[in-house]
Amino acid sequence: MPKVRTKDIIEKFDLELISGEEGINRPITTSDISRPGIEIAGYFEYYPAERIQLLGKTELTFFAKINGQERKSRMEQLCTDITPAIIVTREMDVPEELIEASERESVPVLRAKWKTTRFSSRLTNFLESKLAPTTAVHGVLVDIYGVGVLITGKSGVGKSETALELVKRGHRLVADDCVEIRQEDQDTLVGNAPELIEHLLEIRGLGIINVMTLFGAGSVRSYKRISLVISLELWDQNKTYDRLGLDEEKMKIIDSEITKLTVPVRPGRNLAVIIEVAAMNFRLKRMGMNAAEQFTNRLTDVIEDGEHEDV
């Protein structure tokens, strides 16, 4: 099922439908936008017909200088059976030849009030967001001091209970149980909750609670960029856990690599505080302050000084 159709951008940007109404259900498959100036000049060999075509002042001013039959021919070539829409910006007049060709091929011709460059930027951002690769992950997403922390782990390990404690400490819940993730850029993952369970937390023994109703609008947010993954697992005595923090594990989600920390769970460990500190420490590392590296360097200096004294 197509993620975006022509009618979606008509509604989103309040565009005026001029002609080609039969084609408003056409799918939009790419976020790339074309300004077909060279095509209007007559060169259609590499015409990207599957893109939205944007006609601004430059294209229409040039088209006005074309005479006779060529005007009709150029617009007929512009309107194909896979073109999702042709948009005229700046509320300019739409050429009659374009209206006639669009009606024959059922290509929606739309009119926008914005300037071409500004509208192109807004439309591209909208399409990239809607057409971005997506996946779903079992876990909890919380905004902690501005860091999007995805908490993962097996069922019953305490993810939701930890999220509840974090919300009580002033942080914001994004999603519980199922986190929908989209890759908006090469290393940018944005998570949100499915609409059905937005703002809800499931706590065993209590059932489903509405976080926004209990803690207020400041305790939730609709989406958040994911910067850190914390995996909760039951304490394994035979496993060696990282005690310095020098090793940085990565988790691949779609095409992005995200820093991952594994936190063992056992009675007496305050997971909410540990995750809170992990988020703060992650921010410090991004600012260039790595406590583990500083400790290792100091330890190396002490060892080297001791060797010199022995000599």
Total domains in the chain come to 2
Q: Give the model's pLDDT for residue 62.
A: 94
Q: Residue 156 annotated as binding? A: yes
Which residue numbers are catalytic?
Answer: 138, 159, 177, 243
Domain encompassing residue 196: 134-295
Q: Give the model's pLDDT for residue 238.
A: 77
Q: Residue 276 annotated as binding? A: no
Cβ proximity of 311 and 173 under 8 Å? no
Q: Give the model's pLDDT for residue 246.
A: 66
Domain boundary among 98, 115, 131: 131
Q: Residue 157 annotated as binding? A: yes
What is the pTM for the complete model shown? Answer: 0.75
Do 84 and 215 belong together in one domain? no
Query: CATH code at 27?
Result: 3.40.1390.20
Q: Give the model's pLDDT for residue 79.
A: 96
Q: Give the model's pLDDT for residue 1.
A: 57
Do 139 and 113 belong together in one domain? no
Do 113 and 173 belong together in one domain? no
Q: Give the model's pLDDT for residue 285.
A: 85
Domain boundary among 81, 107, 131: 131
- Whose CA is closest to 70, among 94, 47, 49, 39? 39
Q: Give the model's pLDDT for residue 307.
A: 65
- pLDDT averaged over 10-residue windows placed end to end, the chain, 311 residues: 87 95 94 95 94 95 90 94 96 94 96 94 92 92 96 91 95 96 88 94 92 94 95 83 73 91 85 92 84 76 71 53
Q: Give the model's pLDDT for residue 239.
A: 76
Q: With respect to residue 311, please indicate whether it lies within any of the assigned structural domains.
A: no
Q: Residue 137 annotated as binding? A: no
pLDDT tens digits for 54-76? 999 999 999 999 988 899 999 99
Do 139 and 85 belong together in one domain? no
Structural tokens at position 25: 């259900």
**Length of the chain, please?**
311
Q: How far is CA 294 from CA 243, 300, 305, 306, in A?
A: 14, 10, 17, 18
Do 264 and 202 belong together in one domain? yes
